[in-house]
């Protein structure tokens, strides 16, 4: 099982791997400074994306547990192999 973090910024979702403690701190510092760019890393490899964070911008965090389902359904569906997010 893995934890994926969802960062929603101004209505757009970004999915992030653990750990996010340092990223949260960078975002908070940018907002406290009156605004600033923070590089948000991708879920899997790559350069990430620079996002301008500013006071008053709607930002929310959530965590999603991703892994095998403990479902006991035997209806033949293969959907259990892919987590529903």
Residue pLDDT, tens place only, 58-79: 989 998 887 765 554 444 443 3
b/e map 69-79, b = 16+ CB within 10 Å: eeeeeeeeeee
pLDDT for the residue numbered 80: 40
What number of other Cβ atoms are within 10 A of residue 27's Cβ?
Answer: 21
**Residues contacting 18, CB < 8 A, separation 6+:** 2, 3, 5
What is the pLDDT averaged over residues 22-43? 93
Secondary structure of residue 28 in the 3-state scheme: helix
């Amino acid at each position: 099982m893995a934890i994926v973090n969802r960062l929603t910024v101004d209505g757009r979702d970004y999915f992030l791997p653990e750990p996010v403690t340092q990223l949260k701190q960078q975002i908070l510092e940018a907002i406290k400074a009156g605004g600033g760019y923070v590089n948000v890393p991708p879920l899997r490899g790559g350069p990430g994306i620079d996002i301008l964070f500013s006071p008053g911008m709607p930002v929310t965090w959530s965590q999603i547990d991703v892994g095998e389902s403990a479902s006991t359904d035997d209806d033949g569906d293969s959907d259990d192999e892919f987590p529903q997010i």
